[in-house]
Structure 1
Amino acid sequence: MTAPLDPVPRPTGALALDTYDLTKRFGAFTALDHVSLKVRPGTVHALLGENGAGKSTLVKCVVGYQRAEEGAVLLDNKEHDIATPVVARDLGIGMVYQHFTVVPGMTVAENLLLARGHLPAVIDWKKERAALAEFMKTTPFKLDLDATPQELSAGQKQKLEILKQLLLKPRLLILDEPTSVLTPQEADEVLGLLRDRAHAGECSIVLITHKFREVTAYADDVSVLRKGKLVAAHRVDETTPQQLAAEMVGGEGDAKREFAAPQRAERERGEAMLQVKSLVVDGDRGQVAVAGLSVNVHAGEIVGIAGVSGNGQREFAEALVGQRRRVSGEVWVGTERFAATRAQNRRLKVRSLPEEPLRNACVGDMSVSDNIGLRSFDVAPASRLGWMRGRTLRERARKLIGEFGVKTRGELAQIRSLSGGNVQRAVLARELSDDAEVLIVSNPVFGLDFAAVAEIHQRLMDVRNRGGAVLLISEDLDELLALSDRIAVMSGGQVVHETDAHQADRNRLGAFMGGSAH
């Protein structure tokens, strides 16, 4: 089968990457402080650091998304002025960004072709689709070529981002949290494939990750950034997760405190607080996405919903919180039928943290203060008109910013200017500012660093510990096993398996997730 046309012949083989004294400032803030990183050709190089340590800034300077004020980028010992991502692509550098870069109105096939950057005036779609179908046979997962990103879950969008880069066959591939919304099996398959390609000399890999397991299992070298500086560099087989954690946060004691498992209180399970009965929900193209799903969540427990991305989890969550129409079925909170109205959310203390909160739970151009006030701006005391409302919202926001550790220039900063972890903290501050009775959460720690993950997990556990009911929809099986009291597996829009978490078998869960168990 003929491969898709590529009018720009490129050299092949893994690139060596060196950054020399790379420095990037945003006003008075120094995001990168004379960072000299060395990536050996044909290796997987892991990059660790807390949110705000400078990891994403560093790789964005390498791919031309941002320009450093000082320093240089060298490929195979030759300095290059990488002014734009187009220049980087033509040099053989590819990147899978933490935030999706797909074009919403285009199909998967069109997004894949667009990634090449050099297209003829007229595209031979019969030839290109045949070539893309052949390409899909070589990849670790499949997507519908006719689907659009609006119809894809977060996990499927991440797969599309990875597929775009696999199609381009870069000589240096940078991945910013590529497995955050993949199942463990998918993550292992993707990282194993990329490691094999690197070790075969086809490319070099820079992997930004927050999972020590991925570092030890797949990386050859690891570097640690802290507060914009490179503080450590090791061969992976010469270090330990404990040492790396200490280097990330600046001390062994701090590391133990930041990465401790969430504290689970021993308590009896209470009455059913959230009841979902035979729920049917359509997908974006009219197909049935949730097919008669039933599940209960009791007071004082976390019920985890596991499943391979694209099995109705997104539509299920959206239907629960009122973002998507329910075709049939019932949802009850306590003894009241729940329609997810604003008044019910307030009265029944139902709160939610959706996936991609900057898109689904915030207004990006509004301030942190106004976003935190979205649930309370129309009730006393914030309901007062004029300048008093603004002052009340700002005072409340400052209090919650402190309580939840939101790192921001101030409560008046646009919320889109915050890092992913701090957007999550701000949304949690709003949703958990009073005692939630029911909490519905989807992929709550997507793309976050270790410290943010530990903090948010404990916040979820705190709701459970004080008697709230938590529904946790996650594509991270490790997260579900760590937090849940019960786990239900979703496949084909239905619950196909349910078990107590402490009795759960990872392989059996994976089999149900993949549709191969009976």
Structure 2
Amino acid sequence: MMMRPPLVEVRGMTKRFGALTALDDVSLRLAPGAFHAILGENGAGKSTLVKCMMGYHRADAGRLLVDGQEHQVAGPRGAHHLGFGMVYQHFTLVPSMTVAENLILGRDDLPAVVAWAAERERMEAFLRRMPFRVDLDRAAGALAAGEKQKIEILKQLFLGRRVLILDEPTSVLTPDEADQILGVLRTMAREGQVTVVLITHKFREVEAFAHEVTVLRAGRRIGGGHVKDLTRGDLVAMMIPPMLAVEALTVLDDKALTAVRELSLAVGAGEILGVAGVSGNGQRELVETLAGQRSPEAGLIRVAGERYRPTRRQMRRRRVFVLPEEPLSNACVRTMTIAENLAFRNFDEPPIAVTGGFLSRRALHDRGRELIDRFKIRAAGPDASLDTLSGGNVQRTVLARELSQSPKVLVAQNPCAGLDVAATAEIRGRIMAARNAGAAVLFLSEDLDELMELADRIVVMFEGRLVYETARAAADPHVIGHSMASHL
């Protein structure tokens, strides 16, 4: 009869390789009979975590407890003694040896002379309890990929391992083979025969087979829980960093009073986060901070998971673009030409910039003409002064400059305020197109109907804080309106 798998706890595991922290204070609990998935992108720290558990790496900090007893695992043999076994992404079978020989080869106490009659009897008794049927006399090299993976799993169970760690085990299998093997292991886990740890980056495997999931990102545990309580969107949000993240941001206004108070928000790629609020609740200061026009007192801004400072160089490199309120006074120079205003982002790059630090007037003119035509700016030409344009066409000019380089992050504050129906429809359509192309859009507006039409999620900003959040599908205009007027 198979022994019950142990309770396994990892507490505060940390592993560094030189200056790189591959694993940062990660904790994990594996109840007996759990099927626990560890989900994350490449480089998230998944393999580092289990290799620390298996003794391949020595952790710099943290504890490993098995049935409440702390253990120092000096190497794989120590992990085997605790009942841990690992199945790797690539096969470890010896192709020229039989299945029986491969099963016994993994023993830590392999004798010089094998008593094959006794071992065969033990193997056959073991296989009678297993859901897989295999030919012990067949050469491992003659087996198909799915059969080899079954042998790898059987080898660990035959050797008494009751905590099976599977490192991307389905990468070489067909979907049917993967489903069969993971399905059998799920049944064994439910029956309390084994605990399974599945390292994967495949959402479908987590949703179909795991009971619990832990999500790692950049070496840290981001979240997790019971799979039945989490949606695909929840897992994606934990696994992939938001394109724009604001963390505990505090900003002062022109009178040195706090305008933004420890504000945190996140916007995913291909999402519009609408910020509702009555004017004067910190929206302008937030946008100016994101645009690099105002310095924060505290907090962080991240783009694609990396710390971001809104300098001109970083904005260009990270492709962060801004449509501010009142563009004539905040995003343009009215006495300069349309072409010059359109080139504010890239005047120092070829083909406009030429050798010797000079500008090519022809390239400047041609680029201006291209954007005027593309964004339907009604103007006498690229050399016309910006102050000859209507309000809607000034906004189109700013839109052309900010959207022409495929933004990753777009911040827009009241971009349609005061415009006619045609200009409003044009600008909203351009913003939706940017979102559909994968941009993260932070959309601040005092027009609740506009937010209800465009946003995927809506938050309310009141006195510098976010005081309410809802998905658009569940949004109640009355609740949002009340939150805009006073914090509930």
| TM-score normalised according to structure 2 size | 0.50
Alignment of 1:245-264 (within 5 A): none
Give the distance between the partners of 1:351 and 1:402, measured in 2 at CA: 21
- Evaluate the alpha carbon distance shift between residue 387 and residue 394 of structure 1 in structure 2; reply closer, same or farther with a 3 A threshold: farther
- Alignment-derived partner of residue 290 in structure 1: 260
The answer to whether residue 487 in structure 2 is matched with residue 500 in structure 1 is no
**How far apart are 1:482 and its partner, in Å?**
0.6
1: distance between equivalents of 2:389 and 2:344?
Answer: 17
2:99 aligns with: none
2:375 aligned residue (401, 404, 407): 404
Q: 2:422 aligns with which of 445, 448, 451?
A: 451
Distance 2:408 2:415 in 1: 18
1:460 aligns to what?
A: 431
Is residue 2:444 matched to residue 1:473?
A: yes
Instruction: Give 1:338 shift.
Output: 1.1
Separation in 1, partners of 2:363, 2:414: 32
Residue 402 of structure 2, aligned match among 413, 431, 434: 431
Q: Which amino acid aligns with 1:377?
A: F
Runs of 4+ more than 6 Å apart? none
1:271 positional shift: 4.2
Aligned match of 1:316:
286
Contact 1:271 1:299 in 2 (8 A): no
How far is the alpha carbon of 1:467 from its aligned partner?
1.0
> Is the CA contact (8 Å cut-off) linking 1:293 and 1:493 kept in structure 2?
yes
What aligned pairs does 1:78-477 form with structure 2 within 5 A after superposition? 271-384=241-354, 389-477=360-448
Output the CA distance in 1 between the equivalents of 2:247 and 2:268: 14
Give 5+ residue unaligned stretches, structure 1: 1-267
What amino acid is aligned across from residue 515 of structure 1 in structure 2?
A: S
% identical aligned pairs:
49
Q: 2:482 & 2:455 partners in 1: Cα distance? A: 19
Task: Work out which of the two has the higher radius of gyration on C-alpha atoms and give 1 or 2.
Answer: 2
Pairwise CA distance, 1:340: 0.6
Q: How far apart are 1:477 and its partner, in Å?
A: 0.6
Q: How far off its partner does 1:409 sit?
A: 1.0
Taking the aligned partners of 1:295 and 1:439, their CA distance within structure 2 comes to 14
Rounded Cα–Cα distance in structure 2 between residues aligned with 1:490 and 1:387 = 45
Contact 1:372 1:429 in 2 (8 A): yes
Q: Matches of 2:428 and 2:325 in 1, distance apart?
A: 15
In structure 2, the residue matched to 1:488 is 459
Alpha-carbon separation, structure 2, partners of 1:348 and 1:516: 35
The CA deviation at 1:387 is 7.7
- What CA distance in whole angstroms lies between the structure 2 residues aligned with 1:347 and 1:447? 32
Give the letter for the 1:503 counterpart: A
5+ residue gaps in structure 2?
1-235
Does structure 1 conserve the Cα–Cα contact (< 8 Å) formed by 2:242 and 2:305? no
In the other structure, the counterpart of 1:183 is none
C-alpha distance in 2, partners of 1:429/1:275? 25
Q: 2 CA distance for matches of 1:412 and 1:387?
A: 18
Q: Distance in 1 between matches of 2:398 and 2:481?
A: 31
Tell me the CA shift for residue 335 of structure 1: 2.5
Contact 1:280 1:289 (8 Å CA) reproduced: yes
- Aligned residue pairs, count: 251
Shift in Å at residue 336 of structure 1? 1.9
Contact in 2 for aligned 1:377/1:389 (Cα 8 Å)? no
Match of 1:127 in 2: none
Equivalent-residue separation in structure 1 for 2:382 and 2:479 (angstroms): 47
Amino acid at match of 2:373: G
Q: Counterpart of 1:330 in 2: which secondary structure?
A: strand
Structure 1 residues 272 and 516: alpha-carbon distance in aligned structure 2, compared to 1, 3 A threshold: closer
| Distance (whole Å) between structure 2 residues aligned to residue 314 and residue 388 of structure 1 | 34
| 2-structure distance, mates of 1:516, 1:437 | 32
Q: Per-residue CA shift, 1:9-53, capped at 9, x if unaligned?
A: xxxxxxxxxxxxxxxxxxxxxxxxxxxxxxxxxxxxxxxxxxxxx
Q: Distance in 2 between matches of 1:344 and 1:445?
A: 27
Partners of 1:360 and 1:405 in 2: CA distance: 22
Tell me what 2:111 maps to.
Answer: none
Moved more, 318-327 or 379-388: 379-388
Distance 1:337 1:516, change over 3 A: closer
Q: In 2, Cα distance between the equivalents of 1:346 and 1:283?
A: 26
Take 1:273 and 1:377, find their aligned partners in 2: how far apart are those partners? Answer: 26
Contact 1:273 1:297 in 2 (8 A): yes
d(CA) in 2 for partners of 1:458, 1:406: 15
CA distance in 1, matches of 2:318, 2:256: 31
Partner of 2:128: none
Q: CA deviation at 1:417?
A: 1.2
Helix, strand or coil: the match of 2:429? helix
Contact 2:462 2:487 (8 Å CA) reproduced: no
Alpha-carbon distance in structure 1 between the residues aligned to 2:463 and 2:340:
39
Alpha-carbon offset, residue 324 of structure 1: 0.7
CA deviation after TM superposition for structure 1 residue 516, in Å: 5.0
